[in-house]
């Protein structure tokens, strides 16, 4: 693996931005405040900010690459490769593809989830970001419980979330625009979709026992769990009691406070910060962050959002850069159990991005290093091969 040095930039080391250099070797940060004497390549970071790579534990923007229009499908490998390029160019070096495994056919079907898992596993060597599988299990999907338990036991799932969108689905049947969007996603006729929803909703009594069995399977396998859209402190406590330690998008402050009191990781959407509020009208993420009720920001449905959100928090005076950046790097790494990344320290995985933040609200990713490999570079003049120069000097 090619050694790389980074010099001339301001590096986020601990809580401080310091003028220093980094040496990367064998996929890890070999030294901070290092010389570049043994590197094959040098990146000139003059005028740039050097930051740990972004860890995105919930992103489903890849769905738009799979189905850019309703009923228009593209091959999953093409979608994943394009999504990888998008993620990396926005500074994301670890990506968890949040894949909905539902009771419905079409985009969020069991068949699609299986194909996506297999594609991620086969394509990993070709992808620039460390790409992982976050399974969003719709709790009314009782038919596939045994198969999902087997995947958990085999540790083929990296994060496991409990999703329950049944109430909102039923409520949307009387809202033509929302109903049509769901119908289009499934490929069913309107009547067939309504009948399917009615049949699945009738399973409500069996759902709690299924959730308990799946949570037990995930605990046995040591796979971290999330609960999605918790709407009350009681709901959060119930999930925590089953080992679900990540509260994903709690819908109100009381629930977020319960999560914080219980030591749970709390995830909000980075688009919420960028846009100044939730597109659903729920909790405003920047308010929760200001109150200390958020430990992770995720891309959710928009890969540029984490980078933009961190810098908006700084511009709005809510957090300094070190704490804002923790929400998209060290915080999600800790929540996901990835202790080898999220900070610029010797021995850590070399996931590093170089950012031009001269326009405070419009940071631009100039270069990305993932696991010690240069995988994205916009300003080619910043890269120089120094090995030859060192060889000549040694003669």
Domain ranges, ordered by start, for the chain: 4-52+345-394, 54-164+199-335
- Measured CA angle at 317 (ends 311, 319), to 5 deg: 65
Q: Global pTM?
A: 0.92
Q: Is 154 exposed, middle or buried (0-12, 13-18, 19+ CB in 10 A)?
A: exposed
Q: Which CATH number fits domain 54-164+199-335: 3.40.50.2000, 3.30.70.260, 3.20.20.140, 1.20.20.10?
A: 3.20.20.140
pLDDT recorded at residue 173 = 86
Whole-number Å distance between alpha carbons of 242 and 309: 32
Radius of gyration in angstroms for the set of CA atoms belonging to the chain, rounded to a whole number: 22
Q: From residue 42, give the alpha-carbon distance in Å to each of 11, 21, 45, 380.
A: 15, 10, 9, 12
Task: Name which of 285, 277, 227 is nearest 253 in CA terms.
Answer: 285
Q: Is 185 exposed, middle or buried (0-12, 13-18, 19+ CB in 10 A)?
A: buried
pLDDT recorded at residue 393 = 44
DSSP state of 319: S
User: Which residues lie below 8 Å from residue 303, measured CB to CB, with a gap of 6+?
Assistant: 56, 59, 61, 83, 86, 87, 90, 92
Which is it for strands 49-52 and 4-13: parallel, antiparallel or unpaired? Answer: parallel
- Measured CA angle at 389 (ends 384, 395), to 5 deg: 170
Q: What is the pLDDT of residues 4-37, one digit of tens each?
A: 999 999 999 999 999 999 999 999 999 998 655 5
Query: HEC string of 24-71?
Result: EECCEEEEECCCCCCCCEEEECCCCEEEECEEEEEECCHHHHHCCECC
pLDDT recorded at residue 386 = 59
Q: From residue 335, give the alpha-carbon distance in Å to each of 95, 342, 367.
A: 13, 11, 26
- The runs of H, that is alpha helices, within 154-296 are 166-172, 176-186, 190-201, 207-221, 233-241, 253-261, 270-275, 285-290
Fold assignment, 4-52+345-394: Urease, subunit C; domain 1 (2.30.40)
Contact (CB, 8 A) for 371 and 350: yes
- Measured CA angle at 128 (ends 126, 130), to 5 deg: 100
Whole-number Å distance between alpha carbons of 323 and 349: 20
Task: Name the stretches of the chain with pLDDT < 50.
Answer: 387-395
Which is it for strands 296-298 and 265-269: parallel, antiparallel or unpaired? Answer: parallel
Beta bridge partners of 192: none
Which is it for strands 130-138 and 49-52: parallel, antiparallel or unpaired? Answer: unpaired
pLDDT recorded at residue 35 = 58
Whole-number Å distance between alpha carbons of 43 and 12: 16
């Amino acid at each position: 693996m090619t050694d790389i040095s980074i010099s001339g930039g301001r590096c986020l080391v601990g809580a401080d931005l310091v003028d220093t250099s980094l040496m990367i070797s064998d996929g890890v940060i070999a030294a901070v405040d290092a010389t570049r004497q043994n590197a094959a390549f040098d990146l000139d970071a003059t005028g740039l900010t050097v930051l740990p790579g972004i860890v995105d534990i919930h992103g489903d923007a890849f769905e738009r690459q799979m189905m850019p229009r309703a009923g228009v499908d593209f091959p999953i490998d093409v979608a994943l490769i394009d999504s990888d390029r998008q993620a990396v160019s926005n500074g994301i070096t670890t990506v968890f593809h949040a894949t909905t495994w539902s009771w419905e056919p079409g985009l969020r079907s069991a068949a699609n989830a299986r194909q996506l898992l297999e594609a991620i596993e086969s394509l990993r060597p070709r992808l620039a970001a460390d790409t992982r599988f976050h399974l969003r299990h719709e709790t009314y999907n009782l038919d596939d419980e045994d198969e999902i338990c087997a995947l958990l036991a085999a540790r083929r799932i990296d994060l496991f979330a409990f999703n329950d969108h049944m109430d909102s689905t039923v409520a949307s049947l009387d809202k033509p625009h929302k109903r049509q969007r769901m119908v289009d996603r499934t490929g069913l006729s309107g009547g067939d979709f309504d009948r399917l929803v009615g049949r699945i909703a009738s399973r409500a009594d069996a759902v709690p026992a299924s959730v308990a069995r799946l949570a037990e399977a995930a605990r046995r396998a040591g796979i971290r769990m999330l609960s999605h859209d918790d709407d009350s402190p009681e709901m959060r406590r119930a999930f925590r009691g089953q080992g679900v330690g990540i509260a994903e998008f709690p819908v109100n402050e009381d629930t977020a406070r319960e999560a914080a009191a219980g030591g749970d990781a709390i995830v909000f959407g980075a688009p919420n910060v960028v846009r100044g509020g939730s597109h659903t009208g729920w909790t405003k993420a920047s308010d929760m962050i200001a109150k200390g009720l958020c430990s992770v920001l995720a891309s959710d449905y928009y890969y540029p959002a984490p980078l933009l959100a961190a810098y908006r928090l700084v511009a709005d005076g809510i957090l300094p850069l070190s704490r804002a950046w923790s929400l998209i790097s060290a915080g999600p790494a800790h929540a996901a159990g990835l202790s080898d990344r999220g900070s610029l320290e010797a021995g850590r995985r070399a996931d590093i991005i170089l950012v031009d933040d001269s326009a405070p609200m419009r940071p631009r990713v100039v270069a990305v290093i993932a696991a010690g490999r240069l995988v994205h570079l916009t300003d080619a003049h910043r890269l120089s091969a120094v090995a030859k120069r060192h060889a000549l000097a040694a003669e």
